[in-house]
Structures are given as structure tokens and as C-alpha cells.
Chains A and B, each alone.
Chain A
């Protein structure tokens, strides 16, 4: 789950990373009371979870006189379609130089990777594309609790040594907060010292509970409902509902729909060993999506039993046509139950998807 900038900055501050003086406001007038603290120049930053926020008009500069009016302007905007409900009002830093630093999980080497660039504030992917040597990277053993000095020297190159303790603290954030990504862009130097001018923190969804996060904000309400039942669920914009077991098989079913020029309405993986009740909830959930007139159920029984799946489909008793492809454990019994209630069961994935296409058209 991605934290908002001010949440990430609170975490950074706890770990000793200097952040600009700032306050979160929810109405334009609130900024007035904090102006004496923030100084002459203020930066107003919309707290919205979108990339390229600055370019999209989500960051505005103001002074003591214009702060309230500028905040009002920002609250009235939508940043890439997202309304602004919270603004982080910060002191304007006397920036000397901007750098880039991030720590992420490197899949290939199975270790944390630290990226550093001598130019910050820009999109790192673009910088790396234009000039591979502009971005330096080091890999740190996950068994270490600090970035060793030799790796830090390699990372910084000629950049100021004062950045090192901040980068090491970011590594502590990365480990301590179960982060998938911890990023400071830009990391700035000023006459007063080093600051994290921006902050990005993405927490591993599999570690939310131990990080004390109870609600995953990245999910829609229907997606959270699905999670409660043990499904993985993603809403798409097509007309053919999809239910499968296993992420790969379900994804493959979506691809097959696209292969035959159809459009899937959703991704729903019921998970391993789904019983009658779970399948029933899955069918009802997908049937409740507007515009769905046919549902493809594609299940390969291993732990999952086909007779349980059949009972779940029948129990859901929904209006859209349900087309079933099941194979594996208790397949015969499942087939008998479905046939008894007039459902169509097909032998292969391809046949099931083709049949669904006919109904959808």
C-alpha cells in the first residue's frame, strides 16, 4: 500500500531523516494559523496518490499574503481526476542542490537495491534511459542492518558525505517498515543541512498487519469485500465476468477472452480449496457488476473439488448465463449436478471462452 507524502514524511522523521517544517490542512483558512511557523515562502502540495503530481498542477508556491488564496485554488482542483482533500503546507527550503535516492526490492538478485543520482526532482526512469551512468546502484545483503561504508562511497561517488547518514536512515525505514519502495526525490542540500523534500513509501501488502495497517486504501470497496472472502479481485471494464482458481490460470482466461476479441469485466481468483459458500459469493459478486451478462468459470480441481464448485454456482442462482469449465477432483459429480440444473459445462478453456463470446454478442 502506498502512503501519502505526509504519512511517509512522519515515518522518515521518526527515523531521524530531516523533513521540512509542515502541516496538513483540510480547508484553505487553516493555513493562516501556521504561517508564522512556516516563514515567508510556503509550498502547498496536494496529498493525492498520483504520479507526476507537480506537472499536473498539484504543487503551488505562495507567500504569507497569498497562502490562503492559493490553498483555496489548490483545493478546487482535480489532479489527474483525483479531488484534493488534504494539502501539505511546508516551509520553502533554500535549496542548493537536488539529488535522487531510492531503495527497492530487486527481484533478480533477491536483495535491496539502492539507486542514487546526482540530479533529483526528475523522473528517474527517464534519466536512466537517457544516460545509464547518471544513476548509480548498489545491492545490499538483506542480512545487513546498515549500508556498509564501502558501498556508500561507491553509491555517492563525488556527492557530499553529509548525504550518507540520511541514506542509511532511509535503509532503516526500508527494513523497519517492510517497504517495497522507499524514495526521496529530491533529496536536497541547503545551508542548514540535508532534507527530504519529498517522500514516497510503499508498504508490502503481505506485511500490513504487522505494520499496524488495518485497511488497505489501494483497494476499492468491492475489492476489499472480495478480500474478506479470500478472493483476489480486480475490476476491469468489459462485459464478460471471469472466475478462476489460481492467479495464473485466471489471468490466462482473461488473455484468452482478449485473444477472441472479447472484453473481460473482472479478474477473480477464488483461491485454493474454495468451498460451495466461497464460490457462491464469487458468482454473486461478479454478477452484481453492471453490464455483465455472462460469466465464465474456469477451475482446475486439485485441492478444489468440482462438486463443491457446482453446488456454489447453483446456490448463487444468478441471472447472467454461467458457462463452466472444470477439470480434476470430483469432476463427474460436478458435471452431473450442473447438467441437472441446465448449466453448460465445456471440456476446454478455449471452448468455454468461445461459448461466452457468443452469449456476450
Chain B
């Protein structure tokens, strides 16, 4: 596992919102199942003293950390305020911020990620499903029942496509060490390079599935940076240029980042590229 284990203490920012409340319960259900600590406190300005599914709520991250031992935060704060929430977490001493929020302005994301770095806070996301280490911990919104413990890492820019791939792997009897959704925005905290570096340090992980999308060239950068066996899949081979395919980051700009040339560059480096998700388990077996 990477980023954290059973003993990770977690807070949720905007725990009183619809998504925050719902996923706090799911994260804690998973923590109970695997015997982990899970979400120990929540933050919602002006709502101190309340409880959400038995989890106490505080006005600020600093107040929550004064009463509870936690190093990670899962952020559900909406778009315009999410950048501020990341900086608040970093400033208060949170070491790992997982940002689920979508529609964060890019300039807010750039500033918050730079600020977090000054405070040694690692940011995953924004616009991501979070991470799941089967049998250890879940931070975010991934459906845990699809996953099973094993030695293949998964890192992806997508949400549901990641679940699809995890489901394919599990059905094929291939377990996962950690599944990380790094987010679909143009500017994200942890990139493929960062996550692959962690997988490389992780004794449990023997191979990695890299799931990319049209837009940018972070997939190639990541794959070049690691010595681990890697299998890739790039979504958006049929995407037209200049059209945003759902994710703000999934856009081919100025001729850069189209999926076909990504696939070609990966194959040129002798990296196996699946043409469709169902080919991934077979390719993983070949590299394991």
C-alpha cells in the first residue's frame, strides 16, 4: 500500500454537505470492515458541535486536529472555495489532502497546490475519486466492493473507468495493492510520476496499470520515470480536437495530447497498451 494504512487518521472537510455525509459513512463502513481508524473528525465552518454518523464536527481544521490525531483530509468543499480548503488543511499540518471536488478554477488549483507544497502537504486531485488500498484504507468515493487485495497498482485520471478496470482485474483474479485516481483536471497535485515513484518504493506492488486520457502528456512522463512493469490504457482515441470530453483536462489543445500519438509514443517505448479495458488483465499477466 502507498500513502497510508489502517492506522491513518482521516478528517473530512465539508462533512455536513450531501456528498461529505454520504461518503463519510461509506469510508467508515470500510474502516470497520478492515479494522482501520477511518474518519475521526469533520470540518464545516459554523457547524461545530454537530455529529455526522457519530463523527464530531469542528469549525476549522486546526480545531479538529487539536482534539484528534489525523494526518489526512478528504475534501468535499465546492468549487470556488476548495482552493482555500486545501490551503487551510496544509496550514494546519495535514500531510495528505485528497480533493474530490470538481470544477475548481485552474488558478485556484495552481495556487493551492503550490501553497500545500510549501507546507509539505501532498495533494491528490482535484476532481478525483480518491484512493483505495484494499484491506487497509479508503479515502474518497471509490466503490470498495469491486476491489480485492493483491500486488497490482492502478493509477488513473478517471473515476468510473478506474472502477471498470478494477472490476476487470478482480474478475480475472488479479488483486490490487493501491488504486489511485489522480483527477481529470489540467492541474493536479500528484501526477503519474509521483504515484509511480511511490509504487516503486512499495514492496507489495509488482506491476502497475496506468489509465490515461486525451490531453497533456503526463502519462508518457510517468511511464518513462519508472522501472516497474507497466500496462497502459488511454481513453479518447476517437475524441475530436478542441472539444472538451467531460473532464476539463480531457481536451486536445494546439495539436498536443491526442490519444493516438500518446499510444504510438508508448508503444515506441515498448510499453504494452491495451486497445480496450477488457485486454488489461491479459497484458498484466504477461508482465507479472
Using a CB–CB distance below 8 Å, which chain A residues touch chain B? Answer: 105, 107-108, 110-112, 125, 141-143, 175, 178, 180, 204-207, 209-210, 232, 234, 236, 244-252, 254-259, 264, 267, 269, 272, 299-303, 327-329, 348-350
Question: Nearest chain A CB to B112's CB is how many angstroms away?
Answer: 9
User: Which of A108, A209, A234, A300 makes the CB contact (< 8 A) with B160?
Assistant: A300
Write the B134-166 contact mask toward A (1 if CB under 8 angstroms, else 0): 000000011100100000000011111111100
Of the stretches B31-39, B53-61, B90-98, B270-278, the one at the interface is: B270-278
Write the B92-132 contact mask toward A (1 if CB under 8 angstroms, else 0): 00000000000111110111011100000000000000000
User: With A206-B104, A246-B158 given, is the CB distance from A255 to B238 under 8 Å?
Assistant: yes
Contact A249–B161 (Cβ < 8 Å): yes
**Alpha-carbon distance A105/B142, docked complex (angstroms):** 29
- The reply on B211 being an interface residue by CB < 8 A is yes
Write the B170-204 contact mask toward A (1 if CB under 8 angstroms, else 0): 00000000000000101111010000000000000
**Alpha-carbon distance A246/B129, docked complex (angstroms):** 11
- The reply on B46 being an interface residue by CB < 8 A is no
**Alpha-carbon distance A34/B107, docked complex (angstroms):** 39
User: With A141-B114, A204-B106, A259-B276 given, is the CB distance from A248 to B186 under 8 Å?
Assistant: no
Contact B216–A108 (Cβ < 8 Å): yes
**Alpha-carbon distance A252/B237, docked complex (angstroms):** 8
- Majority-rule SS of A interface residues: mixed
Residue of B nearest to A268 (CB): B246
Contact A258–B245 (Cβ < 8 Å): no
Contact B114–A143 (Cβ < 8 Å): yes
Chain B residues with Cβ below 8 Å from A141 are 114
Chain B residues with Cβ below 8 Å from A248 are 156-162, 184, 211, 213, 235, 246-247
User: With A249-B160, A256-B276, A349-B164 given, is the CB distance from A207 to B105 under 8 Å?
Assistant: yes
Residue of B nearest to A143 (CB): B114
Residue of B nearest to A256 (CB): B276
Contact B245–A249 (Cβ < 8 Å): no
Contact A110–B114 (Cβ < 8 Å): yes
**Alpha-carbon distance A38/B83, docked complex (angstroms):** 46
Chain B residues with Cβ below 8 Å from A142 are 107, 110-111, 114
Question: Nearest chain B CB to A124's CB is how many angstroms away?
Answer: 9
Contact A178–B218 (Cβ < 8 Å): no
Contact B105–A348 (Cβ < 8 Å): no
Residue of A nearest to B186 (CB): A107
Chain B residues with Cβ below 8 Å from A349 are 164, 276-278
21 A/B residue pairs, CB under 8 Å, sorted by A: A105-B106, A105-B186, A110-B188, A111-B110, A204-B107, A207-B106, A209-B80, A234-B245, A246-B161, A247-B213, A247-B245, A248-B213, A249-B159, A251-B250, A255-B235, A256-B276, A258-B238, A267-B243, A301-B143, A302-B159, A350-B278
User: With A234-B245, A249-B164 given, is the CB distance from A258 to B237 under 8 Å?
Assistant: yes
- The reply on B49 being an interface residue by CB < 8 A is no
Residue of A nearest to B239 (CB): A251
Using a CB–CB distance below 8 Å, which chain B residues touch chain A? Answer: 22, 79-80, 103-107, 109-111, 113-115, 141-143, 146, 156-164, 167, 184, 186-189, 191, 211, 213-214, 216-218, 221, 233, 235-240, 243-250, 254-255, 259, 275-278
- 7 A-B pairs closest in CB distance: A248-B158, A247-B246, A246-B160, A248-B161, A232-B246, A142-B110, A207-B105
Contact B161–A252 (Cβ < 8 Å): yes
Chain B residues with Cβ below 8 Å from A350 are 276, 278
Chain B residues with Cβ below 8 Å from A107 are 186-187, 216-218, 249
Chain B residues with Cβ below 8 Å from A258 are 237-238
Residue of A nearest to B185 (CB): A206
Contact A143–B105 (Cβ < 8 Å): no
User: With A258-B237, A302-B141 given, is the CB distance from A180 to B106 under 8 Å?
Assistant: yes
**Alpha-carbon distance A117/B186, docked complex (angstroms):** 25
Chain A residues with Cβ below 8 Å from B247 are 247-248
**Alpha-carbon distance A246/B164, docked complex (angstroms):** 11
Residue of A nearest to B79 (CB): A206
Kindly name the residue among B115, B142, B236 whose own CB sees the greatest number of chain A CB atoms within 10 A. B236
User: Which of B110, B113, B186, B239 makes the CB contact (< 8 A) with A254?
Assistant: B239
**Alpha-carbon distance A267/B110, docked complex (angstroms):** 29
Contact B216–A210 (Cβ < 8 Å): no
**Alpha-carbon distance A302/B22, docked complex (angstroms):** 12
Chain A residues with Cβ below 8 Å from B214 are 251
Contact A110–B142 (Cβ < 8 Å): no
User: Which of B105, B160, B164, B250 makes the CB contact (< 8 A) with A178?
Assistant: B105
Chain B residues with Cβ below 8 Å from A256 are 276
Kindly name the residue among A107, A142, A247, A249 whose own CB sees the greatest number of chain B CB atoms within 10 A. A247
Kindly name the residue among B106, B233, B237 whose own CB sees the greatest number of chain A CB atoms within 10 A. B106
Question: Nearest chain B CB to A92's CB is how many angstroms away?
Answer: 29
**Alpha-carbon distance A207/B186, docked complex (angstroms):** 14
**Alpha-carbon distance A236/B161, docked complex (angstroms):** 21
Contact B105–A204 (Cβ < 8 Å): yes
Question: Nearest chain A CB to B183's CB is how many angstroms away?
Answer: 11
